[in-house]
Amino acid sequence: MLVPEMFLLLLAGVSAGPVESTDDAGDTIPKHEPWESTGLFEGDIMEPPGTLVHRNAMKDKSLRWPNGVVPYNITEDFTEEDRKIIRKAMDEIEANSCVTFKERTVDDFDYVLIGDDLTRPGCWAEVGKVGGAQTLNLGRANYCVYFKGVVHELMHTLGFQHQQSASNRDDYVKILWKNILPGKGYNFDKYDNSMITDLGIPYDYNSVTHYAADAFTSNGKDTIEPLEEGAVIYNDGHLSRGDMEKLNIMYNCNIIFI
């Protein structure tokens, strides 16, 4: 089974701006993803020193969450409504895979601490099980506590990178470099397939881990153009079919998709 390698993701110091719409569950969707203004690698990734490679699904088997069980604590930084959104995002993953999130007990040495660290603001998480208490940060002042954003970060915690980082992405999308903010081109890097796996699932335009079509735009125009006829880059905040299939392969779930 193919599983996560360790990376640290950070969505820091951003101002998301006004809400543009709501999804089909009535949850708010920011006009732009909060992580786009961070200045970090791929918008929401801060790499440990010496880290050189990324991939959509990580390969290091030692860094998966054993049996798909993720212990967590939520700090007192959040309102009751925030907690409901966080739990709802967990429910989304649990309902579509065998992954489970459980409140941490004293017996859980490895767990996710979900908080709002004002010294490192923004939305960020460590990818895969890295050992001990690892942080998933959801800055309230940075508009990070919304359903899609939390699902996105939880997917990173479970071991997934951005879909458009896949080594074969140029077969499926065209990066419109002229429309990207100056100095932000590094956010659209792709990676060697010797270190990447798609878990046998086709490129997914609708993945919750895929950049929006206009991510990091400098002029309001799209920065990513789908190459498949009729394809649209869009995610409604929920896991796509491809996300579900990858989760179930990575965590060896016995779920059959019809």
Active-site annotation, residues: 153
Looking only at the bridges linking them, the beta strands covering 28-30 and 69-74 are unpaired
Q: What angle do CA 67, 205, 213 make, to 5 degrees?
A: 125
Extract the tokens encoding 178: 């002229």
Extract the tokens encoding 3: 């599983």
Q: How big is the chain by its Cα radius of gyration, in Å?
A: 17
Q: What is the spatial distance between Cα 143 and Cα 120, in angstroms, rounded to a whole number? A: 14
Q: Please write down the HEC assignment for all residues of 175-220.
A: ECHHHECCCCHHHHCCCCCCCCECCCCCCCCCCCCCCCCCCCECCC
User: Which residues, at least 6 apart from 28, have a Cβ–Cβ distance to it below 8 Å?
Assistant: 19, 21, 22, 146, 147
**CB-CB contact of 74 with 112 (8 Å):** no
- DSSP code at position 94: H
User: Among residues 225, 222, 212, 210, which one has the least CA distance to residue 179?
Assistant: 222
Rounded (to 5) percent helix, strand, coil in the chain: 25, 20, 55
**CB-CB contact of 19 with 29 (8 Å):** yes
